Amino acid sequence: MEMINLTIDNKPVVVPYGTTILKAASGIGIDIPTLCYMKLDDMNIENKPGGCRVCVVEVKGRRNLSPACCTEVTEGMEVETHTIRAVNARRTVVELILSDHPADCLICAKSGNCDLQDMAHHLGVRKIHYEGEKSMYREDTSPAIIREIDKCIMCRRCETMCNDVQTVGVLSAVNRGFHAVVAPAFEMNLDHSVCTYCGQCVAVCPTGALTEVDETGAVIRALSDPTKTVIVQTAPAVRAALGEEFGMEAGTLVTGKMVAALRRLGFNYVFDTDFAADLTIMEEGTELLTRLSAFIAGDKKVKLPILTSCCPAWVKFFEHSFPELKDIPSTARSPQQMFGSIAKTYFADKIEVKRENLVVVSIMPCVAKKYESSRPEFSVNGNPDVDFALTTRELARLIKLGNIDFKALPNEDFDQPLGESTGAAVIFGTTGGVIEAAVRTAYEIFTGKPLPRLDFEELRGMDGLRKATIDFNGTPIHIGIAHGLGNARKLLEEIQAGKSEFHAIEIMSCPGGCIGGGGQPYHHGDAEILKKRQRAIYSEDTNKTIRKSHENPYITKLYEEFLGAPNSEKSHHLLHTKYFDRS
Partner 1 sequence: MPGIKLSEKTIGQIKTICSDFGNQGSELINVLHQVQGKLGYLPAEVQEVIAKELNISVAKVYGVVTFYSYFTMIPLGEFPISICMGTACYVRGSEQVLAEFKRQLKVEVGQSTPDGQFSLNCLRCVGACGLAPVVMVGEKVFGRVSPQMVKNIIADYKEGTAGEAKSA
At 524, the amino acid letter reads: H
**Residue 232 and residue 414 in contact, taking contact as beta carbons nearer than 8 Å:** no
- Cβ proximity to ligand FES, 36 vs 158, nearer residue: 36
Q: Which does 183 bind (CB under 5 to 8 A by kind): ligand FES, partner 1, ligand SF4, none?
A: partner 1
- Considering only residues 229 through 288, tell me which ones interact with partner 1, judged by CB under 8 A: none
- Which partner, ligand FES, ligand SF4, partner 1, none, binds residue 52 by CB below 5 to 8 Å per kind? ligand FES
- Residue 67, binding choice from ligand SF4, ligand FES, partner 1, none, Cβ under 5 to 8 Å by partner class: ligand FES
CA 291, CA 302: separation in Å to the nearest integer? 6
Question: Toward ligand FES, which CB reaches closer, 96 or 294?
Answer: 96
Q: Rounded to whole angstroms, how far apart are CA atoms 330 and 291?
A: 10
Would you say 200 or 255 has its CB closer to partner 1?
200
# chain residues binding ligand SF4, by CB under 6 A: 40
Dihedral pair phi/psi, residue 465, rounded to 5°: -130, 125
Cβ nearer to ligand FES, comparing 35 with 364: 35
The Cα 31–Cα 319 span in angstroms is 44
Which window, 85-93, 247-255, 502-510, 572-580, contacts ligand SF4 (CB under 6 A)? Answer: 502-510
Rounded distance, CA 476 to CA 295, Å? 13
Report d(CA 161, CA 3) in Å as an integer.
32
Q: Report the alpha-carbon distance of residue 522 to residue 563 in Å, rounded.
A: 40
176: partner contacted, choices ligand SF4, ligand FES, partner 1, none (Cβ within 5-8 A by kind): partner 1
Question: Cβ 219 to ligand SF4, closest distance in Å?
Answer: 19
Q: Which is nearer to partner 1, 26 or 172 (CB)?
A: 172
Residue 175 site contact among partner 1, ligand FES, ligand SF4, none (CB < 5 to 8 Å, cut-off depends on kind): partner 1
Confirm or reject binding of residue 154 to ligand SF4 (CB under 6 A). yes
Nearest by Cα to 443 from 330, 277, 292, 276: 292
186 binds, among ligand SF4, partner 1, ligand FES, none (CB under 5 to 8 A by kind): partner 1
Choosing among ligand SF4, ligand FES, partner 1, none, which partner's interface includes residue 368 (Cβ < 5 to 8 Å by kind)? ligand SF4
Q: Which distant-in-sequence residues (6+ apart) come within 8 Å of 160 by Cβ?
A: 38, 45, 46, 47, 204
- Tell me which stretch binds partner 1 (CB under 8 A): 168-176, 212-220, 290-298, 453-461: 168-176
Residue in 380, 84, 422 with CA at minimum distance from that of residue 274: 422
Q: Does 513 bind ligand SF4 (CB under 6 A)?
A: yes
Task: Check binding of 168 to ligand SF4 (CB under 6 A).
Answer: yes
531: helix, strand or coil: helix
Inter-residue contact 371 to 213 (CB < 8 Å): no
**47 DSSP β-pair partners:** 38
Least distance in angstroms from the C-beta of 27 to ligand FES: 17
Q: Which residues bind ligand FES (CB under 6 A)?
A: 34-37, 50-55, 67, 69
Binding mask 180-219 for ligand SF4 (x = CB under 6 A): --x------------xxxxxxx---xxx-xx---------
- Comparing CA positions, the residue from 312, 286, 262 lying closest to residue 444 is 286
* Nearest-approach distance from CB 93 to ligand FES, in angstroms: 9
Distance of closest approach, residue 451 Cβ to ligand SF4, in angstroms: 26
Does 366 participate in binding ligand SF4 (rule CB under 6 A)? yes
Whole-angstrom distance, CA of residue 398 vs CA of residue 403: 9
CB 440, CB 278: distance < 8 Å: no
In whole angstroms, the minimum distance from the beta carbon of 180 to partner 1 comes to 8
Q: Are 379 and 333 in contact (CB under 8 A)?
A: no
What pairs with residue 230 in β-bridges? 359
With CB cut-offs between 5 and 8 Å by kind, which of ligand SF4, ligand FES, partner 1, none does residue 35 bind?
A: ligand FES
**576, 341 Cβ separation under 8 angstroms:** no
Residues forming the active site: 284, 287, 310, 330, 369, 372, 377, 514
Per partner kind, with CB cut-offs from 5 to 8 A, the member of ligand FES, ligand SF4, partner 1, none near residue 196 is: ligand SF4
Stated as kind and residue range, the H or E segment containing 545 is none
Look up residue 329 and give its DSSP letter.
B
CA dist 242 and 573 (Å) reads 34
* Secondary structure class of 386 (helix, strand, coil): coil
> Residue 524's closest CA among 286, 173, 206?
206
CA–CA dist 511, 165 (Å, integer) = 8
Q: Which of 24, 170 has the CB closer to partner 1?
A: 170
Tell me the C-alpha distance between 372 and 197, whole Å: 9
Q: Does 389 bind ligand SF4 (CB under 6 A)?
A: no
Under rule CB under 8 A, residue 171 binds partner 1: yes
Number of residues that bind partner 1 (CB under 8 A): 16
Residues in Cβ contact with 562 at an 8 Å cutoff, skipping those fewer than 6 apart: 345, 346, 570
- Which is closer to ligand SF4, CB of 86 or CB of 195? 195
Helix (H, G, I), strand (E, B) or coil at 307: strand
- The answer to the question of residue 186 lying near partner 1 (CB under 8 A) is yes
Q: Are strands 383-384 and 306-307 parallel, antiparallel or unpaired?
A: unpaired
Q: Which residue in the set 13, 253, 282, 368 belongs to the binding site for ligand SF4 (CB under 6 A)? A: 368
Q: Is 176 in the site for partner 1 (CB under 8 A)?
A: yes
Instruction: For residue 83, give every residue at least 6 positions away whose Cβ sits within 8 Å of its Cβ, in sequence order, or none.
Output: 58
**What is the distance between the alpha carbons of residues 535 and 31, in angstroms, rounded to a whole number?**
28
Q: Please, which residue, 55 or 395, has the CB nearer to ligand FES?
A: 55
Residue 172, interface with partner 1 (CB under 8 A)?
yes
Binding footprint of ligand SF4 on the chain (CB under 6 A) = 145, 152-158, 161-162, 166, 168, 170-171, 182, 195-201, 205-207, 209-210, 311, 313-314, 365-366, 368-369, 508-510, 513-514, 517
Binding footprint of partner 1 on the chain (CB under 8 A) = 163, 168-176, 183-187, 193
